[in-house]
């Protein structure tokens, strides 16, 4: 799909479909929208009056465009006004998704509110996201040629320049790459296979290092290895360094660390069967950092970036880790494993510590870490914790700029005492109260450098189709991590 900056006005743009966001307050058409409606001969007004587009119920309506040059008008709802890149991305994604399987090849998107360059770029990424079809991954036989049709060209009315949209295309490809990795089934994408995927980034100029079990054992990564010991597929630790990593100043190196649990059965503390298939998405953090590294390598290879992905499968079995086991993490602290289902934090602590030993001065980890994050935040919002909070503000700014919704949570280290163990330095899982915060407090014990932890347990994937995206992985975090790395490189 191509993205174009479009200088024409909504009434004069030549296209198959003109997409127009409609808000609650548009029950009385005014301003630019009233002008467009008049130019069409009143089709928008009529659609709303006839109840074809009920702002409270419908997300989209496809109507004849009347006397303007476009063939059809797509009215798009589902967002509130004044939300910048987030709004733009969502509208664009809803529009291209609505046109899947139709004959529309060209879409012109009128955002109505004047967006800045970030807003148009986010719209571009959203437009490409909306064409994503999960059924392509394994070539679903019952999909017809007609179902496979999608918009080929999206014109963004009022976009300031083409270069910004070309950049957005590259980011969107990265989001799609991460999304597809996260959607792959666990029998198809296990740790060694993810390592092969990572090796592919050598053709983007990255250096790729893969640690196997023996190497990790020699380094003392027993927290990570303990999680993986019950599975037939062996763990791997993936490290992807951009060319800029080696050249960077020692105090300016960014490591992004992604949780890569290819399947989370819970292990001996096994999960209930209901919805367990969703746990193939427990590698979404790893998918995000690998996709972000590939994208940054293409946009700014001099960025001082390393992506680290600890990859395991969390399975029960005769050799699996037991509740009560005590493991010594790479940083020397001992962990009592109360619950083998709190495995994400166990692999992250060794990966984060290892990243520090490799020279990382700033860290961001991203993980589908806790059900509590999904309960509290749902699928729209990613929760993060920061130490110091200034570093969190940089992550927040990157998220805001690309239209991802991040929200800070308090890193209340006062809760640390509730993680005390009778046998070890710390337990991996305490009581339910405050468990989202306590998961971050657990990680904090193993990190010394400026660090942000992002919990995407709720936001990594949808559990059902929505107007804006299909069921499955969303590529959450990719655009934010790319933006963060680019901004970070500029400050260097
Ligand atoms: N991968 C899960 C978290 C998760 C749950 C992600 C639902 C997406 C949707 C994680 O490894 C986990 O099992 N967490 C436990 C921790 C508990 C045992 C302390 C949880 O949140 O229940
Ligand atoms: Mn788990
Ligand atoms: Zn997990």
| Cβ neighbours for 189, distance < 8 A, ≥ 6 positions apart | 181, 197, 262, 283
Ligand whose nearest atom lies closest to the CA of 460:
1
Rounded Cα gap, residues 60 and 188, in angstroms: 36
Q: Is 429 a pocket residue for ligand 1 (Cβ < 6 Å)? A: yes
Q: Which of 227, 259, 267, 371 to mutate for ligand 1's pocket (most ligand atoms within 8 Å of CB)?
A: 371
Task: Say if residue 55's pLDDT is above 90.
Answer: no
Task: Say if residue 114's pLDDT is above 90.
Answer: no
In a domain, 171, yes or no: no
Map residue 446 onto helix, strand or coil: coil
What is the band of 142 on the pLDDT scale with cuts at 50, 70, 90? very high
Q: Which of 228, 269, 341 to mutate for ligand 1's pocket (most ligand atoms within 8 Å of CB)?
A: 341
| Residue bearing the CA closest to ligand 1, atom 7 | 371
In a domain, 170, yes or no: no
In a domain, 176, yes or no: no
Rounded Cα gap, residues 93 and 129, in angstroms: 6
The H-or-E segment that residue 171 falls in is helix 162-183
Note whether 80 and 203 are same-domain residues.
no
What's the whole-number mean pLDDT along residues 248-254? 95
Rounded Cα gap, residues 484 and 486, in angstroms: 5
For the four alpha carbons of 197, 203, 206 and 212, in that order, the dihedral sign comes to positive
What's the whole-number mean pLDDT along residues 271-300? 98
Q: Is 374 a pocket residue for ligand 1 (Cβ < 6 Å)? A: yes
Task: Say if residue 79's pLDDT is above 90.
Answer: no
Q: Which atom of ligand 1 is nearest to the CA of 271?
A: 13
For the four alpha carbons of 166, 168, 169 and 171, in that order, the dihedral sign comes to positive
Q: What is residue 175's predicted lDDT score, i.e. its pLDDT?
A: 98
Q: What is residue 156's predicted lDDT score, i.e. its pLDDT?
A: 98
| Residue bearing the CA closest to ligand 1, atom 6 | 457
Rounded Cα gap, residues 332 and 348, in angstroms: 15
Q: What is residue 396's predicted lDDT score, i.e. its pLDDT?
A: 98
* Residues surrounding ion ligand 3 at CB below 5 Å: 261, 264, 282, 344
Q: Is 379 a pocket residue for ligand 1 (Cβ < 6 Å)? A: no
Q: Is 455 a pocket residue for ligand 1 (Cβ < 6 Å)? A: no
Note whether 274 and 221 are same-domain residues.
yes
What domain range is 424 assigned to?
A: 186-491
Note whether 192 and 156 are same-domain residues.
no
Q: Which atom of ligand 1 is nearest to the CA of 282?
A: 1
Contact 73, 18 (CB under 8 A): yes
Q: What is the chain's mean pLDDT, rounded?
A: 97
What's the whole-number mean pLDDT along residues 41-45? 97
Closest CA to 437 of 450, 448, 453, 458: 453
Map residue 18 onto helix, strand or coil: strand
Q: What is residue 282's predicted lDDT score, i.e. its pLDDT?
A: 99
What is the band of 118 on the pLDDT scale with cuts at 50, 70, 90? very high
Tens of pLDDT, residue by residue over 169-190, are 999 999 999 999 999 999 999 9
In a domain, 342, yes or no: yes
- 326-328 sheet: strands from edge to edge: 326-328, 334-336, 426-427
Q: What is residue 473's predicted lDDT score, i.e. its pLDDT?
A: 98
Tens of pLDDT, residue by residue over 406-421, are 999 999 999 999 999 9
| Candidate list 4, 193, 199, 271, residue with the active-site label | 271
What's the whole-number mean pLDDT along residues 277-288? 99
Angle 228-255-416 (CA atoms, 0-180°, nearest 5)?
65
* First-last CA distance in the chain: 34
In a domain, 131, yes or no: yes
| Candidate list 241, 345, 387, 438, residue with the active-site label | 345
Contact 296, 240 (CB under 8 A): no
- 271 belongs to the catalytic site: yes
What is the CATH number for 384? 3.40.630.10
Q: What is residue 146's predicted lDDT score, i.e. its pLDDT?
A: 94
- 438 belongs to the catalytic site: no
Tens of pLDDT, residue by residue over 358-377, are 999 999 999 999 999 999 99
In a domain, 179, yes or no: no
Task: Say if residue 53's pLDDT is above 90.
Answer: no
Q: How far is CA 44 from CA 63, 195, 480, 488, in A?
A: 8, 52, 36, 45
In a domain, 477, yes or no: yes
Q: What's the number of domains the chain is made of?
A: 2
Note whether 128 and 209 are same-domain residues.
no
| Residue bearing the CA closest to ligand 1, atom 16 | 342
Which residues partner with 260 through β-bridges? 311
Q: How far is CA 448 from CA 306, 352, 364, 429, in A?
A: 17, 10, 12, 21
């Amino acid at each position: 799909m191509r993205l174009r900056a479009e200088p024409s006005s909504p009434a004069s743009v030549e296209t198959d479909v003109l997409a127009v966001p409609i808000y609650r307050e548009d029950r009385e058409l005014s301003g630019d929208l009233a002008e467009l409606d008049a130019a069409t001969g009143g089709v928008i007004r009529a659609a709303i009056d006839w109840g074809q587009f009920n702002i409270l119920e419908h997300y989209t309506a496809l109507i004849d465009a009347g006397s303007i040059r476009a063939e059809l008008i797509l009215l798009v709802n589902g967002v509130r006004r004044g939300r910048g890149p987030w709004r733009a991305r969502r509208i664009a994604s809803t529009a291209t998704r609505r046109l899947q399987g139709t004959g529309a090849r060209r879409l012109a998107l009128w955002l109505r509110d004047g967006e800045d360059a970030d807003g148009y770029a986010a719209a571009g990424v959203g437009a490409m996201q909306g064409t994503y079809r999960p059924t392509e991954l394994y070539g679903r036989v019952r999909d017809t040629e007609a179902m496979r049709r999608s918009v080929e060209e999206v014109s963004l009315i009022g976009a300031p320049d083409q270069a910004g949209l070309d950049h957005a295309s590259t980011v969107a490809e990265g989001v799609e790459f991460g999304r597809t990795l996260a959607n792959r089934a666990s029998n198809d994408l296990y740790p060694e296979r993810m390592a092969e995927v990572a090796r592919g980034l050598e053709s983007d100029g990255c250096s790729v290092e893969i640690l196997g079990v023996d190497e990790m054992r020699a380094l003392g990564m027993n927290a990570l290895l303990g999680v993986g010991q019950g599975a037939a597929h062996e763990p791997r630790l993936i490290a992807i360094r951009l060319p800029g990593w080696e050249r960077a100043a020692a105090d300016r190196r960014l490591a992004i660390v992604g949780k890569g649990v290819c399947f989370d059965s819970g292990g001996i503390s096994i999960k209930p069967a209901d919805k367990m298939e969703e746990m193939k998405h427990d590698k979404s953090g790893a998918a995000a950092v690998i996709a972000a590294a590939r994208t940054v390598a293409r946009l700014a290879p001099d960025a001082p970036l390393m992506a680290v992905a600890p990859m395991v499968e969390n399975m029960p079995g005769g050799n699996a880790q037991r509740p009560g086991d005590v493991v010594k993490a790479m940083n020397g602290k001992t962990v009592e494993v109360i619950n083998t289902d709190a495995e994400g934090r166990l692999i992250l602590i060794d990966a984060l510590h290892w990243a520090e030993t490799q020279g990382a001065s700033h860290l961001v980890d991203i993980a589908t870490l806790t059900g509590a994050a999904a309960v509290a935040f749902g699928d729209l919002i990613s929760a993060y914790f920061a130490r110091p909070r200034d570093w969190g503000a940089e992550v927040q700014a990157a998220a805001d700029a690309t239209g991802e919704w991040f929200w800070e949570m308090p890193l209340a280290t006062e809760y640390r005492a509730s993680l005390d163990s009778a046998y070890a330095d710390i337990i991996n899982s305490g009581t339910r109260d405050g468990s989202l915060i306590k998961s971050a407090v657990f990680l904090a014990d193993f990190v010394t450098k400026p660090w942000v932890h992002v919990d995407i347990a709720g936001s990594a994937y949808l559990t059902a189709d929505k107007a804006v995206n299909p069921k499955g992985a969303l590529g959450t975090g990719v655009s934010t991590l790319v933006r963060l790395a680019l901004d970070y490189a500029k400050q260097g």
